[in-house]
C-alpha cells in the first residue's frame, strides 16, 4: 500500500469497472448508443457537462447526436442517484456545444477535488482517452486516417490493419527534504512569479523511476538526492501523464536553478510556508494535484490558502 493511499488524491478515485472484455465485442458502441440505460458524458474542449455545481451531467443516448468519437468507459460498480449498479458509461467528444451551449461546463483541474469518487474517475478516464484520440488521428505507418475500434480504445490503420493503442507518459514528482526537515520548492518559468511547487519531470526511455528522481532533481536544482522512496501515484490527463510521487533526502542544501524551466528555488520550514501561503505571498499547487497532497503530507495536514 502506498504512503498516499490514506490521503486525498482526487484523480486516483473511481467507481467504474472498466469491463475490458466487452471492448472486444463487434458493434459495441452501436449497441450502447441504442440502449436507453446507457449514460453519456459529453465533453467539449476538455470540459465536461455539469448538473449542478459539483456533479457531472450523465445524459441518455437520445439527448444528443452521436459524435464521430465516443468511448466506452465501463460500468458503474455501485448504484447512485439515477443510475443502478452496472450502468454503462460512454464519453462523447463533441465538436460544438449545439443545444447545450447555455449549459455549465467545467475543467477537471478546477473541479476534480469536489467530485464524488465515481464522477472523478469518469472525468479523468474520459479526458485521458479523448486527449489521446485528439493527438493520434493518423496512422504512424501510412499516414492514413485511423478508424476508431474496440469501444474507442484502439485506432486502426485502414490500409495495413495496424492497431494503435493509447499511451501514458510517466513522470516523477519529488518532495526533496534536507536533514533539518525543510522542503525544497521551485518556481517554473511558465507560472506566475510567486507560485512554488515540487520538482518534477518525465521518465526517459530505459530509465528507472528512482534514476529519474535523482536526474530530474539534479538537472532542475543542482541538488544531489539519496534514497528515493515511492509515495503514490495519480493520473494527470493534461494531456497524458501519470504522476509518480516520491520523496528523497538532499545530500547538500545549496541550489542552482536551471534557469530555463526552473527560475527560482527555496527551502521552506513548515511554519514559514503556512504563513506565506495564508498571506498570499506564495501560491501553492491546487487541491486537485498530487503535488498538493505530498506537500500537505510533509506539512502534517491541510494548508490554508486561497485554493481552499
The CATH number linked to 181 is: 3.90.79.10
Domain match, 219 and 110 both = no
pLDDT-derived band at 237 (thresholds 50, 70, 90) equals very high
Report which secondary-structure segment, H or E, holds 168. Answer: none
End residue of a domain, out of 119, 135, 151:
135
Q: 242 is written with which cell numbers?
A: 501519470
Q: In this structure, are 175 and 121 located in the same domain?
A: no
Q: Are residues 222 and 269 in the same domain?
A: yes
Give the residue-averaged pLDDT of 275-293: 95
Percent of the chain with pLDDT over 90: 89
What is the predicted pLDDT for the residue at 145? 97
Inter-axis angle of helices 270-278 and 290-299, to 10 degrees? 130
**pTM for this prediction:** 0.94
- For the chain, the domain total comes to 2
Percentage of the chain exceeding pLDDT 70 = 97
Give the position of cell 486516483.
Answer: 12
What is the reported pLDDT for 193?
78
Q: What Rg do the C-alpha atoms of the chain give, in angstroms?
A: 21
Q: Is residue 277 assigned to a domain?
A: yes
The verdict on 194 and 290 lying in the same domain is yes
121 and 15 in a common domain = yes
Number of H helices, E strands in the chain: 6, 15
In a domain, 242, yes or no: yes
Residue ending a domain, among 135, 153, 178, is 135
Residue-wise pLDDT tens digits, 156-208:
999 999 999 999 999 999 999 999 999 999 999 988 879 999 999 999 999 99
* pLDDT (average), residues 6-14: 83
Could you tell me which of 22, 20, 24 has the C-alpha nearest to residue 149? 24
What CATH code is carried by the domain that includes residue 118?
A: 3.90.79
Write out pLDDT tens, residues 62-71.
Answer: 999 999 999 9
The answer to whether residue 260 is domain-embedded is yes
Mean of per-residue pLDDT scores for the chain? 94
Assess whether 205 and 256 both reside in one domain: yes
Q: Residue 2 has what pLDDT?
A: 58
289 and 192 share one domain: yes
Domain endpoint, select from 118, 135, 152: 135
Strand intervals (E) in the chain: 16-17, 39-44, 47-49, 70-76, 88-93, 105-107, 147-149, 154-156, 163-164, 169-177, 183-188, 199-202, 225-236, 241-250, 262-268
Q: Tell me if 155 is assigned to some domain.
A: no
Per-residue confidence (pLDDT) for residue 6, from 0 to 100: 46
- Checking if the pLDDT of 47 tops 90, the result is yes
Domain that holds residue 204: 169-299
Of the candidate ranges 4-18, 93-107, 254-268, the one whose mean pLDDT is the lowest: 4-18
Whether 141 is covered by a domain: the verdict is no
Query: 179 with 229, same domain?
Result: yes
Same domain, yes or no: 176 and 235: yes
The pLDDT value recorded for residue 78 is: 97
Mean pLDDT, rounded, for 31-37: 98
- Indicate whether 201 and 293 sit together in one domain: yes
The answer to the question of residue 127 being in a domain is yes
> Looking at the domain assignment, is residue 307 inside a domain?
no
Is 162 contained in some domain? no
Give per-residue pLDDT as tens, 292-303: 999 999 999 999
Spatial contact of 75 and 89, defined as CB atoms under 8 Å apart: yes
Q: What's the whole-number mean pLDDT along residues 70-88? A: 96
118 and 188 in a common domain: no
Say yes or no: 179 and 265 in one domain: yes
Instruction: Quote the pLDDT of residue 1.
Output: 47
Amino acid at each position: 500500500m502506498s504512503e498516499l493511499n490514506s490521503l486525498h488524491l482526487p484523480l486516483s478515485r473511481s467507481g467504474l469497472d472498466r469491463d475490458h472484455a466487452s471492448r472486444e465485442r463487434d458493434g459495441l458502441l452501436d449497441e450502447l448508443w441504442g440502449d436507453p440505460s446507457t449514460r453519456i458524458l459529453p465533453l467539449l474542449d476538455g470540459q465536461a457537462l455539469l448538473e449542478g455545481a459539483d456533479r457531472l451531467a450523465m445524459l441518455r443516448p437520445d439527448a444528443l447526436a452521436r459524435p464521430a468519437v465516443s468511448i466506452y468507459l465501463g460500468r458503474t460498480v455501485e448504484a447512485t442517484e439515477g443510475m443502478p449498479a452496472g450502468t454503462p458509461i460512454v464519453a462523447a467528444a463533441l465538436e460544438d456545444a449545439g443545444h447545450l451551449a447555455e449549459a455549465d461546463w467545467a475543467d477537471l483541474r478546477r473541479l476534480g477535488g469536489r467530485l464524488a469518487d465515481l464522477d472523478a474517475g469518469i472525468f479523468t478516464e474520459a479526458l485521458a482517452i479523448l486527449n489521446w484520440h485528439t493527438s493520434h488521428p493518423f496512422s504512424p505507418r501510412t499516414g492514413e486516417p485511423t478508424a476508431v475500434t474496440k469501444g474507442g480504445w484502439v485506432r486502426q490503420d485502414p490500409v495495413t490493419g495496424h492497431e494503435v493503442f493509447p499511451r501514458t507518459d510517466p513522470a516523477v514528482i519529488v518532495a526533496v527534504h534536507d536533514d533539518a526537515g525543510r522542503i525544497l520548492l521551485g518556481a517554473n518559468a511558465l507560472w506566475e512569479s510567486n507560485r512554488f511547487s515540487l520538482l518534477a519531470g518525465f521518465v526517459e526511455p530505459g530509465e528507472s523511476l528512482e534514476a529519474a528522481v535523482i536526474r530530474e532533481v539534479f538537472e532542475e536544482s543542482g541538488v544531489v538526492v539519496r534514497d528515493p522512496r515511492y509515495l503514490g501515484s495519480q493520473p494527470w490527463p493534461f494531456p497524458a501523464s501519470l504522476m509518480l510521487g516520491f520523496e528523497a533526502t538532499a545530500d547538500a542544501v545549496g541550489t542552482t536553478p536551471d534557469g530555463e524551466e526552473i527560475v527560482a528555488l527555496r527551502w521552506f520550514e513548515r511554519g514559514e510556508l503556512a504563513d506565506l501561503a495564508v498571506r498570499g505571498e506564495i501560491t501553492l499547487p491546487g487541491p486537485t494535484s498530487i503535488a498538493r497532497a505530498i506537500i500537505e503530507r510533509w506539512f502534517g495536514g491541510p494548508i490554508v490558502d486561497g485554493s481552499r
